[in-house]
Structure formats: C-alpha cells, structure tokens
Amino acid sequence: MLQIENKDKFGKVVAGALAKIELTVTDAGMKKRWINAIAKATAEIEENGVFMTYQEDDHSLIIWSQKSNKIYTANGHCQCRAFEQGSPCFHRAAARLVRLYLEPEMSAIADTKAEEIPYLKNNSYIKAERVGSVRIN
C-alpha cells in the first residue's frame, strides 16, 4: 500500500514532472498524452494508493487495476494496452512520480522553496553552468 504523507512534496514532484514534459516533449499530441497520463497518475495515487506497492530494488510500481482486475508492474515498461501501442500510460507516469517522491535526492529538492528550483520558475532563463558537481560549459 502506498500512502502520500507529504502532499506538499508530492505536489512539487508532479509540478516537476509536468515541467519536464513541457521542456522535453516536442510533439504536441505526445505532450498532451503525457500530461493526461501524469494527471491520471496523480489522481490514482491519491485515491487508489491502497492498491499500489513500490518496489525499491527495481524502482517499479505494482498497480492493481480495479477497472481491469489486472496487476501491472510499471517502471520504464508496462504490460497495458497503451504501452503496447507506444502510448504514455498512467502506470508508467505513476511509477515515475512515486519514485521521485520517495527518492532521497527529491527530498532535498522538496525542502527548498519552489522559486529556488530553476525549472519551476516562470519565464526565467537560467544559464546552467553546473549540474550537481559536473561543469557543463
């Protein structure tokens, strides 16, 4: 069973995931499908977390779907129809959100204010020179 205890932190994870789609997915249709998948994943995690289990060893999220009565194990892959057809599915989106939510480095980000996180700033141009300890220009 999965329970989101820190809604504020989870909100930041979701905002970060949406921002990443906005920045990295260029195809408009695909962008819309991923945003829908993230929105559905967010609602499912909040409402049906009782039917989900996160496995730390392989970062997968096990989801018991009430609708299909099937069990999906999602990380980068999934067993659902949408994944078979090459479409984003909420299972994979949920797995990623939960992973980010539970990962220690995300906790560090959640402790900072949103305005201190470059990708959550609106209309600001950040010239990144370092990513972590790695110099990139």
* Complex with Zn ion: residue 93 or 110, whichever CB lies closer: 93
What is the footprint of Zn ion within residues 60-79 (CB under 5 A)? 78
Beta-bridge mates of residue 123: none
CA dihedral defined by 113, 115, 120, 124, rounded to 10 degrees? -160
Tell whether residue 14 is a contact of Zn ion (CB under 5 A).
no
Shortest Å distance, C-beta 69 to Zn ion: 15
What is the footprint of Zn ion within residues 76-95 (CB under 5 A)? 78, 80, 83, 89, 91
d(CA 61, CA 51): 10
d(CA 119, CA 67): 35
Residues of this chain that bind Zn ion (CB under 5 A): 78, 80, 83, 89, 91
